[in-house]
Amino acid sequence: METRLRTAAVALAAALTSPTLYAAIDNIDFHGYLRGGVGVSQDGGIEEYQKNKVGRLGNEADTYGEVELGSEVYKKDDVSFYVDTMVSMFSDGSNDNETTFGDDAQFGLRQLNLQIKGLVPGDKDAVIWGGKRYYQRHDLHIIDTKYWNISGSGAGIENYTLGPGAISFAWIRGDANDVDYRVDGDNDVNINYLDLRYAGWKPWSGAWTEFGVDYAMPNTTNKQKEYGGLYDADNGVMLTSEISQDMWGGYQKLVFQYANKGLAQNMISQGGGWYDMWNDTSNATGYRVINTGLLPITDKFSLNQVFTWGSADDITAQTSKSTLLSLVGRGQYQFTQYVRGIGEVGSFWQKDENKVGSGYKAAGQKYTLALGLAAGPEFMSRPELRLFASYLNDSEDGHSFKDNTSNNTWNFGVQVEAWW
């Protein structure tokens, strides 16, 4: 027995020190994201209030992480096969050991796909892909919103050079669950998206553009078609155009979007393209304008802003018109290479006009001061640890805090955020 154990130990040591193992590990790409921390409000734990409208700094109560592993599993000449994977974890950060028991934490499979390069005639850099993935998401970081986000399981051809830019086409699935419980055992609706994009055209020096069309097609079963109602959903379209401009060492971007049917509600919900199957959207239309940018005002002070205006008509059977206005700004002053002061101010106003009876109004503000320790002086340098204080205010007397008894509250805490 002792001889066998010694032999096994020698074999294991040899395997762990072999050049083949180190080469395999060196060929693995490791990426990820995390945020988490601890904090209190005037009424227990941290209060989270409309963060995609007033800003996320000092306004997040969760623990969230993503771990991504990818590897080029085959390479010969200009042809490569790359496998990408990602898992995620979400929780409220309340316990030491957070698991799926008692819904303490949620774990998800976010990406699992194959990307093939070098097989598209006429463009060796174009990519053929299939599987589950984050698909060319367009992010507004300081409000934690993706305004163009058709992600899921699918397939496509990406970044095929055409003229001064590149074209991408994808077929992606994004189902709607639990639409109507009255259809027993058949209340999930299959929805397919066709996504066409053209990016990279530069109309003048320092400018770049992207244009896209997303076509959503609810694909109901025969049983659902017989039932009708919410299952009588029409195909919808979302159009996106954006132009960006280099400016003062930073950039500014302007985005225009139009959507109809079940996609129209994205224009006032800060959504990125999900289809609403839970309301009558047969006459719905919507528009959205977004301005965002990053400006280095001085060598030490930078400003990031997000302005959103959205309007949508008939997004439910009861609502005639909905309007959203949101403005968030984050300023950052670098005291040293690693220490920074951060301030974020956000405000929003939203109104729903009903076809019959009174409508709905909501408005609020957030003011945050933070001291950050970050890995470098750039605005988006991460990892970062922040000590923060936030004041949250519901200015429409909606009693959003302290168990619906108060219109304002304070948050104090520490948060870390990192990506790599």
- CATH assignment of the domain containing 321: 2.40.170.10
pTM: predicted TM-score of the whole model, two decimal places = 0.91
pLDDT of residue 2: 55
Strands (DSSP E) along 94-223, which ranges?
A: 105-117, 127-133, 138-140, 145-148, 152-162, 165-173, 190-199, 207-219
Euclidean distance between CA atoms 354 and 320, whole angstroms? 5
pLDDT of residue 371: 98
How buried is residue 36: exposed, middle or buried, by Cβ count under 10 Å (0-12/13-18/19+)?
Answer: middle
What is the CB neighbour count within 10 angstroms for residue 372?
21
pLDDT of residue 94: 84
Euclidean distance between CA atoms 144 and 410, whole angstroms? 21
pLDDT under 50: residue ranges of the chain:
5
Euclidean distance between CA atoms 126 and 76, whole angstroms? 16
Q: How many domains does the chain have?
A: 1
Pairing of strands 165-173, 152-162: antiparallel
Domain residues for the domain of 409 are 2-419
pLDDT of residue 398: 87
